Amino acid sequence: RSTLFSLVKGKDLFIPVIIGAYTGLRRSEVVGLQWEDIDFKERIIHVKHAKIRPRKKFLKYLKPKHGEMTQDGNLLKKTKNKTSTRDVPMSEVLYEVLWKWRIEQKGLRFKLGKDAIYNDFVCTMLEDGREMKPDLVTQSFHNLLVKNNLPIIRFHDLRGTLATLLIENDENIKYVSELLGHYDTRTTERYYAKTVKARMQKVATKIDNII
């Protein structure tokens, strides 16, 4: 994780990766975050929207109830169900990162002047302030891993990593499920099953070494 964080620091990917790693938000939820969703006083992120790339053949059928089109041609819609709409706590690290980024984002736009693109999204491009597309995050994340000879994982796997770390550190599985916005704990238990299997393998190895 520290290697990944150091590689994305100072790049467009930094904010999406930090948010994804520290909150377990889905990619669509990360790029759909707006500053109005960030409660710095209570240190809570209100997850209410997701940004997705709509299929072209469905564009003519879009209605206001489906969401609204953003500057980059994506669809900002409400999260898919009641469990996906949730409040996620900010750790001290994430709080500091987002607080500094909020100030930096404003500064970058001020320097750009009339060339700056204004919106309320948290995840924006350093070049001109335009909002980040979901597909761009995916492709950039993949390219970064390939370029630096790191194991190839999906951006979505940051969710699984967080869930696994929390479960390994004895966090209640129901809370982990609520944090990730899972419909029920069965989805979360898949991470738990992998963790238990890994622990059992470690025990087996210790037995070999002892005997």
Q: What are the structure tokens assigned to 56, written together?
A: 């072209």
Query: CA-to-CA distance for 21 and 53, rounded, in angstroms?
Result: 22
- In 3D space, the residue among 9, 13, 52, 21 whose CA is nearest the CA of residue 139 turns out to be 13
Q: Report how far apart, in Å, the C-alpha atoms of 136 and of each of 129, 133, 169 are.
A: 14, 5, 33
Which has more confidence, 23 or 180? 23
pTM for the whole thing?
0.83
Contact 52, 29 (CB under 8 A): no
Task: Average the pLDDT over 46-52 and give the result.
Answer: 92
Q: What is the average pLDDT across 40-68?
A: 82
Average pLDDT estimate for 25-35 = 95
Q: Name which residue leads in pLDDT, 181 or 16.
A: 16
Q: How confident is the model at residue 80 (pLDDT cuts 50, 70, 90)?
A: confident
